[in-house]
A and B are shown apart, each in its own frame.
Chain A
């Protein structure tokens, strides 16, 4: 029961402080789940993200479901999923009737302009931290560069990029 509450409250917090969509959640996952609770490793975050990316649904929800299941089977999956969804559910319900006012409010927009800057810095820090874990040799370096170039120039769908990288990994068969 304690673990279920722990899962719910941890993902509630992550849901509450995730601004700017799926990947903005990763710095929080790292701080909460890898460094504080030691539930998962940094490599596992990346594995869960690639699974979340290649399966249908909202990536943040997928990652929450996955970690919840890993900790406490189906009840854990539900606790984590409800935890990550509840903050946005409540906030949007509260804002539903005043959405226009909310968007046009100068204080709101200044505050979020500041938050967005931090979110970008947090994401940049994740990239710096993870590059050591994700790029171990020249071959992975090439995959990384090809992926970022195709994303920026050709605007491919993320699922296509991950599928292609997975295929390359399988064909190359570097891990024996």
Chain B
């Protein structure tokens, strides 16, 4: 029974959360007012964990809430519930993609969308920057990393590992 409720509730979030990231937070907050799965305080902790561990926050949160409510089976049900609606919708879009993308209408849609998506990416960078670049040391490091990334084209994972080690060594 609890599996069914978890699946259904997270299906709803997967269907309603447009845009991903922290958009899921208000839905998750509403959940903890209805069910005893986790408290509002735990939700805040989870946001911190989700930001400092890999993976999309919505997935992290579904796994955590599902685990709290009904163990590993619950974690699986909540995660599958969250992901399933968008998988179905995206598969439907992708199935007609080759026909869609050749139309003039679509090319004009994307002509407008591309600069806006770039603005979204820049905005995400600015928001993360406001949170994490709070002194000369962190800002300077960020600029050095940007230079390195831009001119020495190593795999991003290498920079992420170096950043983690530097954080530890410099006690950032």
Chain A residues proximal to chain B, CB less than 8 Å: 13, 15-24, 26-28, 31, 35, 43, 46-47, 49-62, 65-66, 69-70, 74, 77-78, 81, 84-85, 87-89, 91-93, 95-96, 99-100, 102-103, 106-128, 130-131, 133-135, 140-141, 143-144, 147-148, 151-152, 157-159, 161-162, 164-170, 172-176
B28 at the interface (CB under 8 A from A): no
A-chain residues with CB within 8 Å of residue B16 when the two chains form the complex: 56
How far apart are the CA atoms of A112 and B49 in the complex, in Å? 10
Chain B residues proximal to chain A, CB less than 8 Å: 14-24, 42, 45-46, 48-60, 63-64, 67-68, 72, 75-76, 79, 82-83, 85-87, 89-91, 93-95, 97, 101, 104-105, 107-126, 128-129, 131-133, 138, 141-143, 145-146, 149-150, 153, 155-157, 159-160, 162-168, 170-172
How far apart are the CA atoms of A81 and B88 in the complex, in Å? 11
How far apart are the CA atoms of A92 and B59 in the complex, in Å? 9
B-chain residues with CB within 8 Å of residue A176 when the two chains form the complex: 104
A-chain residues with CB within 8 Å of residue B153 when the two chains form the complex: 35
Do A58 and B167 touch across chains, with their CB atoms under 8 A apart?
no
B-chain residues with CB within 8 Å of residue A121 when the two chains form the complex: 142-143, 145-146, 149, 159
- Known A-B contacts A21-B21, A159-B19, A162-B120; the reply to A120 vs B129 at CB < 8 A is yes
A-chain residues with CB within 8 Å of residue B109 when the two chains form the complex: 166, 169-170
A-chain residues with CB within 8 Å of residue B172 when the two chains form the complex: 110, 113-114, 117
B-chain residues with CB within 8 Å of residue A24 when the two chains form the complex: 124, 128
Do A147 and B120 touch across chains, with their CB atoms under 8 A apart?
yes
How far apart are the CA atoms of A49 and B90 in the complex, in Å? 12
B-chain residues with CB within 8 Å of residue A61 when the two chains form the complex: 20, 56, 58-59, 83, 86-87
